[in-house]
């Protein structure tokens, strides 16, 4: 229970004790003879004032959902004043164990926060014990000055007890923080990854997580995607739906949700009529917690949950919604940025391939064949779809560094001199420098930079060995070599597929990664020799 709710429960029990106390005051007089005198005296004014005060506090405690520190301090001060006034007015007339009950209940609820029945029993036992002791000693229950001093001291205990209640309990506060952290962690784990964060993939799990960890009947996301279109994702009883709504009127709940700018709790007092929402929504919601999904739409987007089961939404529910909403916004923006970046990179790749093809006609087709081989090998090795896409992009761009190599060296029919070969060996470094400003993927950069490394360490540009070479580069090295053997060169005609495969097998464990060779052979066994025939269409990265 949070501190504000604890104060409210405490105040409701104090109100009950105040009513018992007022009744006790009234029963100490003989109404048939003393009531007129009592009403005319100051004591009558005091009793009436106390009854009116008790009535006001009772109504407030019954209608509120929390009890603020200001209210608690105010009622504490008034209780103390009434107790002092009672001690002064009726020190010889009034047997007032009710004041002892006030003090005992204050200690029980405020300092220890016993369950309700324990608190009542605790107060009753103290009261009965004091009465029994008084009767055992004096053989009557009339109150003397010493007794009034004891009772008045107990009457001051509500001030102390409320001070304890108003001060945060470190253990309880720590438990609340740990509970909230656990809920938030579990809710975040229920969300998909960045590459699966389209609206349809992200919003239903987010709504479901908020419904689960805020203990709500239903939850959803409302987002305005255009001037005349609003999408509403709803999760209720484990079922998720998507509805396309017309733009709601300003007084409708959907419009009010879209306008929310900070984590908010709404109740029936805020008129939660669901006019304009789908049929799975009740006519009116009892309560609602909502948080904006910032930056997802300039017209508004909100994550919400409604109808908390067995209670009202507390501050921790607002915090949970805010944490979840922030992560939903981050995931959606990251996904959109990655998609936009990927599309921009593909456009840049097309431009680079066109430039390379203009310099050396046929180079684009060769790059596409290398990509086709590389993707087939990586898929056989169990790579994910996203990783396959990145490797295909690397294969398309792996030789763009040859733009900086003189044509005379690339087309030379004779063997290159050592000096000339050193120039050609720079093309992976050049390609990596060209791609680096456009690229966010380490797979792409590593594969391009190291695709001329060899398993035995005799490759370039860094002389890496075996598994020191990134796996993407090892796959691309084999794919590039296979395409090169099957393609004509200035110094030789294309090699026959059977001879190229024999070279590939001979190079396993020296030039090529043995696992990549085995994967390629598995692809050929399944696809047949036709797999080695050049395709006429593009699109190798799909």
What structural domains and CATH numbers belong to the chain? 3-167 (no CATH), 189-332 (3.30.450.40), 360-532 (1.10.3210.10)
Alpha-carbon distance of 398 to 45, in angstroms, equals 96
d(CA 425, CA 176): 62
Tokens, residue 50: 């106390």
Q: Which parts of 31-155 fold into alpha helices (H)?
A: 31-40, 42-63, 69-89, 97-106, 116-138, 145-155
For the four alpha carbons of 310, 313, 314 and 317, in that order, the dihedral sign comes to positive
pLDDT for 184 equals 77
Name the percent of the chain lying above pLDDT 90. Answer: 22
The Cα–Cα gap between 363 and 354 comes to 9
Q: In sequence order, what are the beta bridge partners of 289?
A: 265, 305
Q: Where does residue 131 rank: exposed (0-12), middle (13-18), buried (19+ CB within 10 A)?
A: middle
* Residues linked to residue 267 through DSSP beta bridges, in sequence order: 287
**Does 212 have pLDDT greater than 80?**
yes
If one compares 268 and 113, the residue with the highest pLDDT of the two is 268
pLDDT band at residue 107 using 50, 70 and 90 as cut-offs: very low
State the Cα–Cα distance between residues 422 and 426, nearest whole angstrom.
Answer: 7
Which residues, 6 or more positions from 224, have their beta carbon under 8 angstroms from its beta carbon?
A: 230, 231, 247, 258, 297, 299, 300, 301
Q: Residues 153-205: pLDDT tens digits?
A: 554 454 444 444 444 455 555 666 677 677 778 877 888 876 666 888 889 99
Contacts of 452 (CB under 8 A, 6+ apart): 425, 428, 459, 460, 461, 477
Specify the pTM.
Answer: 0.45
Token pair recorded at residue 354: 């066109």
Contact 123, 101 (CB under 8 A): yes
Most confident of 96-110, 129-143, 234-248: 234-248
**d(C-alpha 137, C-alpha 365), whole Å:** 111
In the predicted structure, residue 32 carries a pLDDT above the cut 80: no
CA 412 distance to own-chain centroid: 60
Q: Phi and psi (nearest 5°) for 287? A: -160, 165
**What confidence tier does 116 reach under pLDDT thresholds 50, 70, 90?**
very low
Phi, psi of 269 (to 5 degrees): -60, -20
Q: Residue 482 and residue 473: Cα distance in Å, rounded? A: 14
How far, in Å, CA of 85 to CA of 83, rounded? Answer: 5
- Helix then strand then coil, in percent of the chain rounded to 5, is 65, 10, 25
Which pLDDT does position 288 carry in this prediction? Answer: 94
| Mean pLDDT estimate for the chain | 76
If we measure between CA atoms, which residue out of 331, 337, 320 comes closest to residue 203?
331
Give the pLDDT band (50/70/90) at residue 522. Answer: very high
DSSP states along 305-321: EEEETTS---HHHHHHH
Backbone angles phi, psi at 492, to 5 degrees: -165, 160
Among the ranges given (160-169, 210-219, 234-243), the one the predictor scored with the smallest mean pLDDT: 160-169
């Amino acid at each position: 229970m949070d501190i504000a709710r604890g104060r409210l429960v405490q105040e409701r029990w104090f109100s009950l004790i105040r009513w018992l106390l007022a009744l006790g005051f009234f029963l100490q007089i003989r109404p048939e003879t003393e009531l007129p005198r009592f009403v005319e005296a100051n004591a009558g004014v005091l009793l009436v004032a106390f009854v009116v005060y008790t009535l006001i506090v009772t109504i407030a405690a019954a209608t509120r959902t929390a009890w603020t520190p200001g209210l608690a301090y105010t009622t504490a001060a008034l209780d103390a004043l009434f107790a002092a006034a009672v001690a002064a007015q009726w020190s010889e007339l009034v047997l007032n164990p009710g004041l002892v009950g006030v003090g005992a209940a204050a200690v029980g609820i405020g300092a220890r926060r016993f369950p309700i029945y324990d608190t009542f029993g605790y107060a009753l036992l103290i009261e009965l014990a004091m009465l029994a002791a008084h009767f055992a000693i004096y053989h009557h229950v009339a109150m003397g000055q010493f007794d009034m001093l004891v009772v008045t001291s107990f009457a001051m205990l509500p001030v102390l007890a409320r001070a304890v209640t108003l001060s945060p309990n470190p253990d309880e506060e720590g438990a609340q923080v740990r509970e909230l952290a656990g809920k938030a962690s579990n809710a975040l784990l229920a969300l998909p990854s960045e590459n699966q964060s389209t609206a349809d993939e992200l919003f239903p799990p987010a709504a479901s997580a908020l419904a689960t960890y805020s203990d709500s009947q239903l939850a959803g996301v409302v987002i305005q995607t255009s001037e005349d279109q609003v999408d509403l994702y709803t999760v209720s009883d484990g079922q998720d739906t998507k509805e396309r709504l017309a733009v709601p009127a300003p007084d409708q709940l959907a419009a009010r949700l879209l306008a929310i700018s900070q984590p908010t709790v709404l109740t029936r007092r805020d008129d939660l009529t669901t006019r304009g929402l789908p049929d799975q929504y009740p006519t009116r919601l009892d309560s609602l917690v909502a948080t904006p999904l910032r930056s997802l739409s300039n017209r508004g987007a909100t994550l919400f949950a409604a109808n908390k089961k067995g209670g009202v939404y507390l501050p921790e529910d607002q915090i949970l919604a805010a944490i979840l909403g922030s992560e939903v916004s981050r995931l959606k923006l990251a996904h959109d940025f990655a998609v936009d970046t990927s599309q921009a990179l593909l456009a840049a790749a097309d431009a680079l391939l066109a430039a390379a093809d203009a310099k050396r006609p046929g180079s684009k087709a060769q790059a596409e064949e290398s990509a086709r081989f590389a993707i087939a090998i990586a898929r056989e090795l169990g790579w994910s779809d996203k990783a396959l896409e990145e490797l295909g992009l690397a294969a398309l761009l792996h030789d763009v560094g040859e733009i900086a190599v003189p044509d005379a060296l690339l087309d030379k029919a004779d063997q290159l001199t050592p000096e000339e070969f050193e120039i050609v060996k720079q093309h992976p470094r050049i390609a990596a420098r060209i791609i680096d400003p456009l690229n966010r993927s380490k797979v792409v950069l590593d594969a391009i930079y190291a695709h001329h490394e060899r398993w035995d360490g005799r490759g370039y540009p860094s002389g890496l060995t075996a598994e020191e070479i990134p796996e993407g580069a090892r796959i691309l090295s084999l794919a590039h070599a296979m395409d090169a053997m099957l393609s004509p060169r200035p110094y030789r005609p294309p090699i026959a597929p059977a001879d190229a495969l024999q070279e590939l097998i001979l190079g396993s464990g020296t030039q090529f990664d043995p696992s990549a060779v085995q994967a390629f052979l598995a692809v050929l066994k399944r696809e047949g020799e036709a797999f080695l025939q050049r395709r006429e269409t593009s699109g190798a990265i799909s």
